[in-house]
A and B are shown apart, each in its own frame.
Chain A
Amino acid sequence: MKREFKKFFTRKYILTILPILIIIIILGWNETFFGGNKSDSSVYSDFINGIKPYDTREELEELYDSVFFTTEYPGMEITYNQKKNNFIKSVYGLCLEKNLPYDSVTEMGNFKYTQFHFFSYFCIYMCNFILLSAIIIGSFYQTSDFLNKTAKLVYTSGEKRTKIVARKYCVSLFSLAVIVALIDAIFAFAGLKLSFTGAKYCVIFADGTLYYMNYLSFVTLNIFSHLLMLITVYTFVYYFAALIKNGIIASCAFLSITTILLFLGTSAQESAQAIFTAMFTEGLAAAITFRPISTLKYIALYTPFVLSAAIMATVTNLRLKHSDYSR
């Protein structure tokens, strides 16, 4: 493992990755804090503006009762107004539940509606980064031994093939995870400075459910959801490439699928990118905030992805012993 780390983290790698990281952060910064805010807040500011001020708990209860909540089901389409009402009612419900001060809600002083200022753009941006880096590194790190013809030496070193493949997997995944966590940490720190001064709760509204948490939980959620996404995608890509022993085919296949899924909008004008991001992040949000039904729903959404990655790894490991490694 130590030798593998030494081989991976060469001076050349660090000198290559550093400028890429800086470019990613600059681009992401611009997108998250400047590009994203304008268009996004214009769509959802109407939601926030719909929340009426109140002075007493009774008034808050009245407001809560006056708004009709439409229960959402997976795949169900609801109108813009229904969605807005659901959000407003959820906020009133949260204010009641938390017994929040009755004179501060008008400015959303206790909340940051994170999904639309910081959260969504950053998450989608990270989603792209994670997918592309996982596909490229996952496709080529292990299979480069076949391109360089070094496989004949690597796989006759005396270790089991599954162990060699797993070691390379761990080292490359760890290196990517460090980068992802580093970017997350930088953005979390920036978000703390720019977007969350004075906020008590970070709120995520998804599929009719209002999730709320403090900023630390929110940052943790971000990091964990990104790492889960990375592990899932990376495992699938890496072991698929290891199975077919061809990084070029694997990367072309996954990049094509990713392009179709992420950059071409669906008929519901909601790109798969957003769905993919939401699937991981909101699923975890639900899990963290202990919403049993929602948790089940979202876990059900991303379970096939996690399972398919695990199955791919298992199948590849079973095939490794009988594969031709003489190329």
Chain B
Amino acid sequence: MSIIEIKKLKKSYGKKLALDIPSLNVEHGASIGIFGANGSGKSTLIKCITGLLPYEGQIFIDGNDIRKQPSILADVGILIEEPALYKDMTGRKNIMYFCSDTTAIHEYAELLGITDILDKKVKSYSLGMRQKLAILLACVKGKKLILLDEPFNGLDIISVEKAIELLNLCRQRGASILLTSHQLEISQKAIDMYYLLKNTQIYDCTAPKPFGGLKYLVEFFDIDSVKSAYSLLSENDIICSLSDYALKIQSDGQSVSDIAQILKDFNVKKIEDISYSVKEAYLQMEIKE
């Protein structure tokens, strides 16, 4: 049974179709990222999954239709768009108001580094603190599933790292994660499956890749080798681009060893597989369209 199962989902705002997803399954324990341009429907998708927005089709969380059995949402942590919390309540009281089981609150708060502000009123928090508290709330509540919409907004690099660490800990404890973000490179550390939302459709960007294929970054010790290798690869109909002491290769099925074999006579420093760059995939998709 999937943690999220979407069937024939359609969501329109007036006459404008915002989402048209025939099918989507997210397995238990998976961590998926959904990317897309502004207004592509990322937040709309999360709002549909949580039942906040009315929609056509069916959405199941852990086998439960959320419209008929909303009680499943009691184990779903949610952060949508901005950290909206009760400002006159302390951070701890906010969490206790929304979660029935708050046993993990201390451990998670410590991991995020916000233990000392938990008993202060939310109105005294900065944006970053509110964001961290909202992530904490989502993680404490989301025992089965954590839905995060732009979770790293307003966070400094260290806080992002801590948040990712917390998300990974939640995954180890059985929670599945679905997040949307514009910060592709950062989010990559917390997810292992990527989806792209574009023109109301959703595309699976995880292997097998529908676009781009395998990609390598080959670095050389000298600039002459770069130029020569570029010529050789072009002669072998391998698409590549120059970049200082490196070459970006778009492979047509060749493995690392195949590339290494072709370039054996050159002064190669290292060959790095960059196929799984979400950013690359996203940009490729955008260019392709």
- Chain A interfacial positions (CB closer than 8 Å to B): 3, 7, 10, 12, 148-150, 152-161, 321-326
The 10 closest A-B pairs by CB, nearest first: A158-B74, A149-B84, A326-B52, A158-B73, A326-B47, A156-B50, A325-B52, A150-B84, A158-B71, A326-B53
- Contacts A7-B97, A321-B67, A324-B53: A157 and B73 contacting too (C-beta < 8 A)? yes
Contact A152 B54 (CB under 8 A): no
- Name A157's contact: one of B53, B82, B96, B98 (CB within 8 Å): B98
Q: Which stretch (B86-94, B164-172, B237-245, B259-267) binds chain A?
A: B86-94
Q: Does B80 contact A (CB under 8 A)?
A: yes
Residues of A within 8 A of B82 (CB): 149
Contact A10 B88 (CB under 8 A): yes
Identity of the chain A residue whose Cβ is nearest the Cβ of B76 in the assembled complex: A156
Contact A159 B53 (CB under 8 A): no
- Contacts A148-B84, A152-B78, A153-B84: A324 and B73 contacting too (C-beta < 8 A)? no
Q: Does B271 contact A (CB under 8 A)?
A: no
Residues of B within 8 A of A154 (CB): 98
Kindly name the residue among A148, A153, A161, A323 whose own CB sees the greatest number of chain B CB atoms within 10 A: A153
Residues of B within 8 A of A158 (CB): 70-76
Minimum C-beta distance from B216 to chain A (A): 43
Residues of A within 8 A of B67 (CB): 321
Kindly name the residue among A148, A155, A158, A324 whose own CB sees the greatest number of chain B CB atoms within 10 A: A158
Contact B74 A157 (CB under 8 A): yes
Our count of residue pairs bridging A and B at CB distance below 8 angstroms stands at: 63
Contact A160 B70 (CB under 8 A): yes
Contact B78 A322 (CB under 8 A): no
Contact A7 B54 (CB under 8 A): no
Q: Does B85 contact A (CB under 8 A)?
A: yes
Q: Is the interface of A mostly helix, strand, loop or mixed?
A: loop
Residues of B within 8 A of A149 (CB): 82, 84
Q: List 10 A-B contacts (CB under 8 A).
A: A148-B86, A152-B47, A152-B84, A153-B78, A153-B85, A154-B98, A155-B52, A156-B76, A158-B75, A161-B70
Q: Does B51 contact A (CB under 8 A)?
A: yes
A156 to B67, CA, bound (A): 11
Residues of B within 8 A of A326 (CB): 47, 52-53, 80
Residues of A within 8 A of B89 (CB): 7
Contacts beyond the supplied A152-B81, A158-B73: 18 A-B pairs with Cβ under 8 Å? A148-B87, A149-B82, A152-B78, A153-B78, A153-B85, A155-B51, A156-B50, A156-B78, A157-B98, A158-B70, A158-B71, A159-B71, A160-B70, A322-B54, A323-B54, A324-B53, A325-B52, A326-B80
Minimum C-beta distance from B148 to chain A (A): 13
Residues of A within 8 A of B87 (CB): 148
Minimum C-beta distance from B213 to chain A (A): 38
Residue-by-residue, is B49-73 near A (CB-CB < 8 Å gives 1, otherwise 0)? 0111110000000000001001111
Residues of B within 8 A of A325 (CB): 52-53
Contact B88 A156 (CB under 8 A): no
Contact B54 A324 (CB under 8 A): yes
A176 to B57, CA, bound (A): 42
Residues of A within 8 A of B84 (CB): 148-150, 152-153
Contact B73 A150 (CB under 8 A): no
A3 to B100, CA, bound (A): 10
Within 8 A of A (CB), among B19-67: 47, 50-54, 67
Identity of the chain A residue whose Cβ is nearest the Cβ of B13 in the assembled complex: A324
Contact A159 B98 (CB under 8 A): no
A324 to B48, CA, bound (A): 10
Identity of the chain A residue whose Cβ is nearest the Cβ of B80 in the assembled complex: A152
A231 to B73, CA, bound (A): 32
Residues of A within 8 A of B85 (CB): 150, 153
Minimum C-beta distance from A151 to chain B (A): 8
Contact B52 A152 (CB under 8 A): yes
A157 to B47, CA, bound (A): 13
Residues of A within 8 A of B76 (CB): 156, 158
Kindly name the residue among A10, A157, A159, A322 whose own CB sees the greatest number of chain B CB atoms within 10 A: A157
Residues of A within 8 A of B70 (CB): 158-161
- Name A150's contact: one of B50, B54, B86 (CB within 8 Å): B86
Kindly name the residue among B52, B53, B87, B96 whose own CB sees the greatest number of chain A CB atoms within 10 A: B52
Identity of the chain B residue whose Cβ is nearest the Cβ of A324 in the assembled complex: B53
Residues of B within 8 A of A323 (CB): 54
A321 to B36, CA, bound (A): 29
A321 to B69, CA, bound (A): 12
- Contacts A152-B78, A158-B74: A7 and B86 contacting too (C-beta < 8 A)? yes
- Name A156's contact: one of B73, B81, B86, B96 (CB within 8 Å): B73
Identity of the chain B residue whose Cβ is nearest the Cβ of A322 in the assembled complex: B54
A153 to B84, CA, bound (A): 8
Identity of the chain A residue whose Cβ is nearest the Cβ of B74 in the assembled complex: A158
A152 to B147, CA, bound (A): 12
Minimum C-beta distance from B177 to chain A (A): 16
Minimum C-beta distance from A178 to chain B (A): 21
